Structure 1
Amino acid sequence: MLRAALNRLLGMAIVMALVVTIVFIIVRVTPGDPAAVMLGPDATAADIASLRQRLGLDASIPEQFVTYLGGLLRGDLGTSIFLNIPVAQALWLRAEPTFFLTIFSLLIATAIALPVGVLSAYWRGTLFDQAATTLAMLAASIPSFWLGLIFMQVFAVQLGWFNTSGFGGPGASFAERMHHLVLPAFTLGLISSALITRFTRAAMLDVLNDDYVRTARSKGMGEWRVVVRHAFKNALIPILTVVGLTAALLISGAIVTETVFGLPGVGSLIVSAVLRRDYPVIQGALLVVAGLYVLVNFIIDMLYLLVDPRVRY
């Protein structure tokens, strides 16, 4: 297990090195000058050149890349051009809404998808199976921003149960802030549950007719014990994979939902940074998101070893 973990860590380091290089190049070749954006349309060429020199943007691309790598090796993601604070601090100040939104959305998605997927496979061909499959396909086809607007109109505007936007004031309690996340979390959770439901159903169908399941039934074991203890446990590998991918997708997919519900999370920070060509924030946010992707994949790989001992060999 230790050797497998070390191999995964080496792979993570290589992937992150490639991500750092690609992100830096893409951000630099994107049209737009942050100095010109900061100074406005009335700025002179001399003013723009002076600000570019002060920000270090007048250096060549290789020189900027070397400087950026040096900062990363020291744990420095840079300083925001517009916010004038360290990028790590800017991301940390916006992390709470995005973190809890991702966690709650994943919990809602798995709470819906796992039992529905298992029951759909067990009752294959029945009305329940057909309804679950149809609803899963429908949920996968609905844009998150549209569903969010529908939820906002019904539950916030008409019924008045939730707020239409925001994350509570500066003095808001934790419960009040979590209350603001109910509608966004259900929006992301319902849409994300579609993929997990279909994978769970497919994985269960693969194992329900295997020999060990028939053997357990022939021994007189209870039906639901056979389904949960034997079939579901052996179907966990593909299910864990899709849950891990869903968790990673939720991190980036939260950008649209945060914009719709006006949440001051990492997503809105990235959008504003892109519009203002705030290079350090864009790079730092993309690196953090990519790092979370890689970390989630690493955790899923390690869970494989715990769930199925055969993977160790």
Structure 2
Amino acid sequence: MTRYLIKRLVGLVVVIFLVLTIAFIIVRLAPGDPAALMLGPDATTEDVAELRTRLGLDRPIYVQYLTFVANAAQGDLGDSLFFNAPVLEVLAARAEPTIFLALFSLIFALVIAAPIGIYAAYRHGSATDQGAISTAMLAASVPSFLTGLIFQRYLATELGWFPASGYGGPDASFLERMGHLILPSIVLGITNSALILRFTRASMLDILGEDYVRTARAKGMTERRVVLRHALKNAGIPIITVVGLTFALLVSGAVVTERVFNLPGLGNLVVNAVLRRDYPIIQGTLIVVAALYVLVNLLTDLLYLVVDKRVKL
């Protein structure tokens, strides 16, 4: 177990190192002078020269790279040009809406997809099964921004069941802020439930056809115990895998939904950083999201040990 963890942590370091290298190269490959691009067309020559010195762009490329990697290893991803603050502080200030949005969306997707996927597999070939598959395909096909706009208009504006947009005022309580995330979480949950539903159904279908499931039924066990205790437990690994990847995708891919509902999360921050040419923020977000992906994969693999003891072998 310890050896496995060490190998995975080494792999995590390697991936982060590669991401750091890619983030460094992206800025340097941008057409024109990066400092001039960041400041815009109205900047003077003196302003561009000052920013180049501040960012270290006037030094040799290998020195810039080594400095960038060394600073990142110490948790220093640079300073935001727009906020004039460390990148990690800016990202931390915007992380709460995105993390909770992803978490609530995942919970909502699981509440929808897992029971339907299990029941569809149990009733394989029935009208219920075909209806579940068709509904999942429809949910995956409709863009999240369209679903968000429809829900925003009817459930928020006309019926007034949810806040239409925003994240509450500066003095809003934690519960009030979480209330603003309910509707966007439903939107993202519906969109991402399709993948979880299909994986749950496919995994359950494989297990329900195994010999030990037929043996359990032959011994007189109830269908509920056969499906939930024997089949679902052994079908858990593929489901855990897709759930972990879905959470990582929700964190990094909630840009459109955050824009529709005007949430001050990481997605909105990155879009504004691109428009403002705030490259340190873009670099920092790329690195943080990549690290999140690797950590989620590691936690998913460790969770396999809890679900299925045979993984230790």
Question: Which residue matches 1:113?
Answer: 113
Once residues 207 and 43 of structure 1 are traced to their aligned partners in structure 2, the CA distance between those partners, rounded to angstroms, is 64
Q: Which residue of 2 is the match for residue 211 of structure 1?
A: 211
1:244–1:297 CA contact under 8 A, matched in 2: yes
Q: CA deviation at 1:284?
A: 1.1
Q: Which residue of 1 aligns with 2:294?
A: 294
For residues 155 and 43 of structure 1, what CA distance do their matches in structure 2 show?
46
Q: Residues 109 and 190 of structure 2 are in contact (CA less than 8 Å); yes or no, is this contact kept in structure 1?
A: yes
Q: Secondary structure at the match of 1:3?
A: helix
Q: 1:19 to 1:136 in 2, by over 3 A?
A: same
Superposed CA offset, 1:145-193 (max 9, x none): 1111111111112112222211000000111111111111011101110
User: 1:197 aligns to what?
Assistant: 197
Per-residue Cα deviation, 1:3-62 (whole angstroms, up to 9, x for no partner): 222222121111111111112212321236564356543333333223322332333432
Contact 1:34 1:276 survives alignment (8 Å):
no
Kept in 1, the 8 Å contact 2:38–2:277? The answer is no
Correspondence for 1:158:
158
Moved more, 43-52 or 263-272: 43-52
Task: Quote the residue 2:175 is aligned against.
Answer: 175
2:271 is equivalent to residue 271 of structure 1: yes
Is the CA contact (8 Å cut-off) linking 1:213 and 1:226 kept in structure 2? yes
* Amino acid in structure 1 at the alignment position of 2:161: W
The worse-fitting range, judged by mean Cα deviation, of 242-251 and 58-67 is 58-67
Moved more, 303-312 or 218-227: 303-312
Tell me the TM-score normalised to structure 2 length: 0.95
Structure 2 distance, partners of 1:177, 1:183, is 12
The range that moved more, 193-202 or 161-170, is 161-170
How many residues are aligned here? 313
State the superposition RMSD in angstroms.
Answer: 1.5
Deviations 1:116-153 (A, max 9, x none): 00000001111111111000001111111111111111
Aligned equivalents of 2:185 and 2:29: distance in 1? 35
Distance 1:38 1:245 in 2: 34
1:21-36 alignment to 2 at 5 Å? 21-31=21-31, 35-36=35-36
Q: Do the aligned partners of residues 32 and 169 (structure 1) sit closer, same or farther apart at CA in structure 2, a change above 3 Å counting?
A: farther
Distance in 2, Cα, partners of 1:269 & 1:185: 19
- 1:239 aligned residue: 239
Instruction: Answer whether contact 1:37 1:276 (CA < 8 A) is retained.
Output: no
For 1:33 and 1:257, the matched residues in 2 are separated by 33
Structure 2 letter corresponding to 1:116: I
Task: Letter of the 2:287 partner, please give it.
Answer: L
Question: Quick one: distance in 1 between partners of 2:15 and 2:55?
Answer: 29
**Letter of the 2:194 counterpart:** A
Identify which range, 104-113 or 45-54, moves more after superposition.
45-54
Query: Which residue identity does 1:240 align to in structure 2?
Result: I
Match of 1:260 in 2: 260
CA distance in 2, matches of 1:239, 1:38: 43
For the residue of structure 1 that corresponds to 2:254, the secondary structure is helix
Whole-angstrom CA distance in 2 between matches of 1:222 and 1:138: 34
Q: Percent identity?
A: 62
CA contact (8 A) 1:104 1:185 kept: yes
Deviates more, 1:8-17 or 1:226-235: 8-17
> Bigger CA drift: 191-200 or 74-83?
74-83
- 1:308 paired to 2:300: no
Residue 233 of structure 1: how far off its partner (Å): 0.6
Deviation digits for residues 269-313 of structure 1 (CA, Å, limit 9, x no counterpart): 111112222222111111111111000000111111221122212
Q: 1:8 is matched with which residue?
A: 8
Question: What is the aligned partner in structure 1 of residue 98 from structure 2?
Answer: 98
Contact 2:20 2:287 in 1 (8 A): yes
Task: Tell me whether 1:42 sits opposite 2:42 in the alignment.
Answer: yes
CA distance in 2, matches of 1:127, 1:39: 60
| Residue 138 of structure 2: aligned partner | 138
> Who is 2:147 aligned against?
147
Partner of 1:207, secondary structure, is: helix
Which range moved further: 34-43 or 63-72?
34-43
1:218 positional shift:
1.0
Unaligned runs of 5+ in 2: none
With normalisation by structure 1, the TM-score equals: 0.95
Give the SS at the match of 1:299: helix
Q: Is the 8 A contact 1:33 1:277 kept in 2?
A: no
Per the alignment, in what secondary structure is the counterpart of residue 185 of structure 1? helix
